[in-house]
Amino acid sequence: MKRECWNRDKLIHQYFGVNLNLVWETVKRDLLRLKEQISKY
């Protein structure tokens, strides 16, 4: 969870230092898993 918080802070406050390719790869990798977890509720 700490990593996710750090990533959120970096995205919100340091947008010029954000690696957009890394963000996109993370979204592609984790979006399906997130969708599955959300659908349980």
The DSSP call for residue 14 is: -
- What stretch of H or E contains 20? helix 20-39
For residue 40 the two structure tokens come to 């349980």
Give the Cα separation of 18 and 3 in Å (integer).
15
8 is catalytic: yes
3 is catalytic: no
Active-site positions read 8, 13
